[in-house]
Amino acid sequence: MRVVITGAAGFIGSRFAELLLADAERLGYDDVVLLDALTYSGRRENMNRAIGAGARFVHGSINDPVVVDQALAGAHAVVHLAAESHVDRSITGARDFFLTNVLGTQQLLESARRAGVERFVHVSTDEVYGSIAQGSWREDHVLEPNSPYSASKAGSDLAALAYHRTYGLAVMVTRCSNNYGPRQFPEKVIPLFVTNLMDGESVPLYGDGLNVRDWLHVDDHCRGILAVLEAGRAGEVYNIGGGTELTNRELTTRLLELCGADESRVRTVPDRLGHDRRYSVDWGKIHAELGYEPRVPFTTGLAETVAWYQANEAWWRPLKETVA
């Protein structure tokens, strides 16, 4: 059976491909296609292990109907991770986010419908829910996105679910909390702060630093996606959480300690426009239905992530030039 993974050269997509290939025989996938446009954050070298394990790479955009139709022809499943995902970039250039996240998703859905794809996992984000002062979002919570990025992802979620309801396409949506781990592009907070500290630079902390995020190791996220791909129910949404909530200031303190730096390296910068105060997802549904729970303790995962960046300067150094 063929499975097509979009965004396979990215941080999450490349790791998902590796974990799927490690279990491909049991899952029945003997044809793994990696589809990626290789934009600034999609790195061909991220796919080396997956390609070495037998995956095929297709270079192209999810907005290109010819590329998508060819990649999905005969496919049993699609795992859709391709997206513009950096909130700051969406604030200064929103158009690309709607083109990729909404229209690109619609093209994939339409091609999947025509190709008779039997399972379509659309990977989304907890940011579509907006901000929550206390408690945690369940999957049926109203969508209240506050940034161009999260609005574009909410639009793609609704398109995916509409294709299930209208055409019967077996779509499942996952919404994850903040990911971290090796190979994350250094515009995101953890790799940005670690690489800045390695270079002797300061780290920019937004506002009062009290915005709260739930942290999820990329391996746990990918295991959750795999569980949904294998046994998720069509038309359903599944939250995937990590179980570790920290303020940005608490996260910064941990990173300073791991990098041997002190508070003098922190500089406060004006808060992000429309900055959500707190995210928290209730992942009881995926636990009850599919047995998911995070396995990587945050303390261990963060230390290993910092160590990876310290040991892999050749990977991230050229990418720093592209970080605004």
Q: Is 214 a catalytic residue?
A: no
Q: Where in the chain is the domain with CATH 3.40.50.720?
A: 2-179+217-240
Q: Show pLDDT as tens, one digit a residue, over the chain (324 residues).
A: 999 999 999 999 999 999 999 999 999 999 999 999 999 888 999 999 999 999 999 999 999 999 999 999 999 999 999 998 778 888 888 999 999 999 999 999 999 999 999 999 999 999 999 999 999 999 999 999 999 999 999 999 999 999 999 999 999 999 999 999 999 999 899 999 999 999 999 999 999 999 999 999 999 999 999 999 999 999 999 999 999 999 999 999 999 999 999 999 999 999 888 888 999 999 999 999 999 999 999 999 999 999 999 999 999 999 987 765
The one catalytic residue among 36, 110, 126, 139: 126
- Estimate the crossing angle of helix 218-231 against helix 11-22, to 10 degrees: 60
Q: Is 40 a catalytic residue?
A: no
Q: Where in the chain is the domain with CATH 3.90.25.10?
A: 185-213+245-274+297-322
CATH level 2 (architecture), domain 185-213+245-274+297-322: Alpha-Beta Complex (3.90)
CA atoms within 13 A on the CB side of 4: 30
Rounded to 5 degrees, φ, ψ at 280 are -165, 120
Q: Is 64 a catalytic residue?
A: no
The one catalytic residue among 84, 129, 139, 149: 149
Domain spanning 2-179+217-240: CATH 3.40.50.920 = no
The one catalytic residue among 18, 110, 127, 187: 127
Q: Where are the beta strands (DSSP E) in the chain?
A: 2-6, 31-36, 56-59, 75-80, 119-125, 171-176, 178-180, 203-206, 212-217, 237-240, 244-247, 266-269
